[in-house]
Amino acid sequence: MRRATAALVEEHWQAQERIGAQVASQALAHWSRVNPHSLEESGAAWLAWMLALVRRERRRSRDQAAAFYRLYRALETGHTVPPLSGEYVGETTTLGELREDWADQADTIRTPEPDDGEEIRLDGFDWPEEPEEHHDRAAVASLISQGPAKVRQHLDQADTDEARGRLDDGGFLQELEDAVDTAGRSSAGAADREVLRGGRDLIDQASKQDRRVVGWARVTDGTPCAFCAMLASRGAMYTSQSTAAGGGRRKPKGAPDGRVRANRRPPVALEDLTRYHNGCHCQTVPIYSRNDFMTPQARDYDRQWQEVTRGMTGAEARRAWRRHIESSRN
């Protein structure tokens, strides 16, 4: 991966992370208005406020992802696609103009580059429409299940627990306060995830219809879980068409012909590559070259995998990897 592309990919997940973190912070602050003693009323008001916030910031995530996609594609292929707005901008643009757009969307400082004047041709392309109703339903389900539903579950359990005694008992009230705090943190994580759905879904759907894309790769955030780090360590997953055309994984350097390292993982599925959990700020990016796609961080995780799981396969290897990653995060 070229240095300029690697830097842009890094900026992309960090910019998306900022959106998610800001939303999580606002969600947690607003959660204080949820009263467990009037859960239906206060929970409904909280949900309405949260859904408006998620919708607004989901659009911001989507706009930012589109600016990244246009610049990233230009750096990788010398061609880009029209703006997400649908505004006609002619048949060509420049790297400088694409960088200006990215800097505006990502709220970063624009540094002039020697190749800013390089002309980039626009390919014919129709951006996918956002499935707003589907995204709204997913957001509502996630927010309710991680927030008010958790509090309701705790209250219902208390109502049926005869040994508990009075609901104003000091021990119960402390447990209820802890349950409300836990639900607030969980719902903030859900809001983070639902907001980033906008940008992630845009890149996923756009890249599937982009004729220049030959595969995808997972890019981790700064502190990935074991599952995300494992996905990143696998490098590129190629489309069936590009693999049939000779775009499979390259032979590891120094390995004899026809042989690969014993504990090389099988290619990851796109379904797994685009799975995200609450608090995850990883991204999946399209690949435009049949060469092995590995960011510096992915190469490091690949090296660690080889060392940690040497002589292991299957569940044993995954358990060893999970212990390794969890210990490194402590």
Q: Which two tokens stand for residue 30?
A: 């607003």
Tell me the mean pLDDT in the region 216-227.
89
Mean pLDDT for 10-39 is 95
pTM (predicted TM-score): 0.88
Residue 258 has pLDDT above 60, yes or no: no
17 three-class SS: helix
Cα 287 to Cα 55: distance, rounded to the nearest angstrom: 29
pLDDT in tens, 29-39: 999 999 998 99
Model confidence over 135-194: pLDDT tens digits? 999 999 999 999 999 999 888 877 666 555 455 566 777 888 888 999 999 999 999 999
- 143, 190 contact by CB (below 8 A): yes
Q: What tokens does 294 get?
A: 């590995």
Indicate if the pLDDT at residue 252 is higher than 60. no
pLDDT value for 1: 66
pLDDT classification of 242: cutoffs 50, 70, 90: low
Residue 244 has pLDDT above 50, yes or no: no
Query: Which two structure tokens, joined as six digits, stand for 195?
Result: 């907001």
Q: Please provide the DSSP assignment of 111-150 as one string.
A: ---TTTT-EEEEPP--PPPP-HHHHHHHHHHHHHHHTHHH
For residue 243, pLDDT over 50 is answered with no
Contacts of 147 (CB under 8 A, 6+ apart): 31, 34, 43, 46, 47, 183, 184, 186, 187, 190
Q: CB burial class (10 A; 0-12, 13-18, 19+) of residue 40?
A: exposed
Contact present, 194 and 59 (Cβ < 8 Å): no
Q: Which residue has the tokens 């009323």?
A: 41
Question: Residue 329: pLDDT above 80?
Answer: no
Report CA torsion sign: 59, 64, 67, 68: negative
How far apart, in whole angstroms, are the C-alpha atoms of residue 4 and residue 75?
Answer: 8
Token pair of 115 as six digits = 């190749």
- Whether residue 9 contacts residue 285, with contact meaning beta carbons closer than 8 Å, is answered with yes
Question: What integer pLDDT is reported at residue 255 of this predicted model?
Answer: 41
> Between 3 and 101, where is the model more confident?
101
Percent of the chain with pLDDT over 70: 87
What's the pLDDT at 16?
97
Beta strands 92-94; 215-219: pairing state: unpaired
* Torsion, CA 269, CA 135, CA 285, CA 120, rounded to 10: 140
Residue 4 pLDDT: 86
Six-digit token string for 313: 């396969």
Q: Which residues pair with 218 in a beta bridge?
A: 284
How much of the chain exceeds pLDDT 90, in percent? 65
User: What mean pLDDT value characterizes the chain?
Assistant: 87
Query: How far apart, in Å, do the first and last CA atoms of the chain sit?
Result: 30
The phi, psi pair for 260, rounded to 5°, reads -130, 170
Among the listed residues 236, 254, 220, the one whose alpha carbon sits nearest the alpha carbon of residue 292: 236
Task: Choose the weakest-confidence range: 43-52, 108-117, 163-172, 190-199.
Answer: 163-172
Lowest mean pLDDT among 30-39, 66-75, 151-160, 238-247: 238-247
Report the distance separating Cα 268 and Cα 238, nearest Å.
9
pLDDT level of residue 247 (50, 70, 90 thresholds):
very low
Task: Give the domain ranges of the chain.
Answer: 3-209, 215-329
Q: How far apart, in whole angstroms, are the C-alpha atoms of residue 229 and residue 325?
A: 8
pLDDT of residue 115: 96
Report the SS3 class of residue 80. strand
- Six token digits for residue 130: 């956002």
Q: How confident is the model at residue 250 (pLDDT cuts 50, 70, 90)?
A: very low
Q: In whole angstroms, what is the distance from residue 251 CA to residue 268 CA?
A: 17
Confidence of residue 28 (pLDDT cuts 50, 70, 90): very high
CA distance linking residue 234 with residue 305, whole number of Å: 10
Q: Dmax over Cα atoms in the chain, in whole Å?
A: 75
Better-scored residue on pLDDT, 330 or 232: 232
